[in-house]
Structure 1
Amino acid sequence: MLPEEFQQTLRSQGIELSPQQMKQFERYYELLVEWNEKMNLTAITEKKDVYLKHFYDSITLALSVSLKEDAALCDVGSGAGFPSLPLKIVFPQLKITIVDSLNKRITFLQTLVKELGLEEVSLFHDRAETFGQQPEHRASYDYVTARAVARLNVLAELCLPLVKKDGFFYALKAAKSEEELTEAKPAIALLGGKFIEDKEVQLPVTGDERHTLVIAKKKETPKKYPRKPGMPNKQPIK
């Protein structure tokens, strides 16, 4: 998917990108490839693949669910800024917070945000477990996203404490897994969430499926969660 096709496909979905937004995506691509030579940001570096599997893939969240324009969105373990920064380019009114445990990635993101001229983007070098216990961030976000490869019961403990009541946690997954969802349901309930639905979309060109697991925050998360760094992975809630 080259930039023109990216623009046309989004247009067909009702998302019109301006020349300025297209320039931001182009600069994003250039910086991603440039920095990737110094540090491991992504295994995907071909332009057509970055536009499809990173940029378009990130925006599928907005094609799956309705995002409030000026919502506060926290992206946990964002890596090279996916899905939150492509969403920020498309929807500039979103207020974005990114937390990542690797300081090198945060340095890249600081450069990226500055170069792209993005406002209302906050970047934090922290573990999600300690970030979620901080009063200024706990239960503060309309939406929390994770595009990480961790299992859902682990992601739920890292993300749901950050979601405000009546907000949503969106877990972005490449494949459907009833087993993973079944395994995670006790954790989701314990943490104050409720699984609503699995929204499936297909990527253009390849037809690869993508899933947005929609989890609503119905009750406050018990204070003991998230547990200390490493614990959610070592001993997932069952």
Structure 2
Amino acid sequence: MELIKKYFPHLLSIQFDKLYYLQSLYSYWNSYVNVISRKTFYDFYQQHVLFCLGIAKVYSFVPGSCVMDLGTGGGFPGIPLSIVFPKTEFILVDSVMKKIKIVKNIINDLHLENANTICIRAEKLEKKFDFVVTRAVTKIDTIHQWINNKFKHTSNSKYIKNGTFYLKGGDTSYELKKFPHAIEYPLSHYFHEPFFTTKKVVWISN
């Protein structure tokens, strides 16, 4: 939790409280369903919360934006981002009902009025979004095909077009051959811990 305070000192106390409460909530639910790898749970705030908040270092969502968290799994990156951006709507999407049920419980426990869940395959979802965020679901090309028609026609931001933020690790050069307009943001520029040496946010406009 000290890492969050280190890199996001501007957050309100209520936001810190919710981020602090996350670990105990996930510890409880993880005892029933393995929504977070037990191998990485010991480093919960660095490998899960702070990694997801790397998107917040790259871009600040405009109030009123609608964001899909594709393949949310246990609620990442959607839940940490919904805490940091309380005036942005987040729709957490996953096709696995048992995970969605847990994520919905966590949202309710945190009183996150700007976050909701849908159990559906992303390609079957009819709702339109300003942005998509996703972490380690599958290859970028596959995701791009799923969401190519999921964006609103106009952007509510004058700074950036509608598109997708991918949380990635390692070498992405092969995946990005089909996306020459993609922009990579190395998270080592924002976070100094060794874990982030190979981590990045990849931005691809719609």
Q: TM-score, normalised by structure 2?
A: 0.87
Structure with higher Rg: it is 1
Other structure's SS at 2:164 match: strand
2:175 aligned residue (162, 173, 180)? 180
Q: Is the 8 A contact 2:104 2:116 kept in 1?
A: no
Distance 2:195 2:120 in 1: 36
Please list, as runs of the form range in 1=range in 2, the aligned pairs for 1:79-90 lying within 5 A after superposition: 79-90=73-84
Q: Which runs of 5+ in 1 are unaligned?
A: 186-193, 218-238
Describe the SS at the equivalent of 1:211.
strand
Distance of aligned partners of 1:9 and 1:99 in 2 relative to their CA distance in 1, 3 Å threshold:
same
Look up the match of 2:6: 8
Q: How many residues align?
A: 194
Residue among 205, 211, 216 paired with 2:193: 205
1:121 aligns with 2:115: yes
Give how far 1:207 is off: 4.6
Say if 1:33 and 1:214 are closer, same or farther in 2 by CA, change over 3 A. Answer: same
Give the ranges of 4+ consecutive aligned residues of structure 1 lying more than 3 Å apart after TM superposition: none
Could you tell me which of 22, 26, 32 is aligned with 1:32? 26
SS at match of 1:163: coil
Equivalent position amino acid for 2:6 in 1: Q
The normalised TM-score by structure 1 is 0.76
Residues 15-34 of structure 1: per-residue CA shift (max 9 Å, x gap)? x1222212211221111111
Identity of counterpart residues, as a percentage? Answer: 24
1:37-116 alignment runs, 5 A limit:
37-43=31-37, 44-46=40-42, 49-116=43-110
CA distance in structure 2 between the partners assigned to 1:28 and 1:51 by the alignment:
9
The CA RMSD over aligned residues, in Å, is 1.7
The one-letter code matched in structure 1 to 2:133 is T
Extract unaligned runs of 5+ from structure 2. Answer: 154-160
The structure 2 residue matched to 1:130, chosen from 114, 120, 124, is 124
Do the aligned partners of 1:75 and 1:83 also contact (CA within 8 Å) in 2?
yes
Contact 1:29 1:50 in 2 (8 A): yes
What is the distance in 2 between the residues matched to 1:19 and 1:92?
13
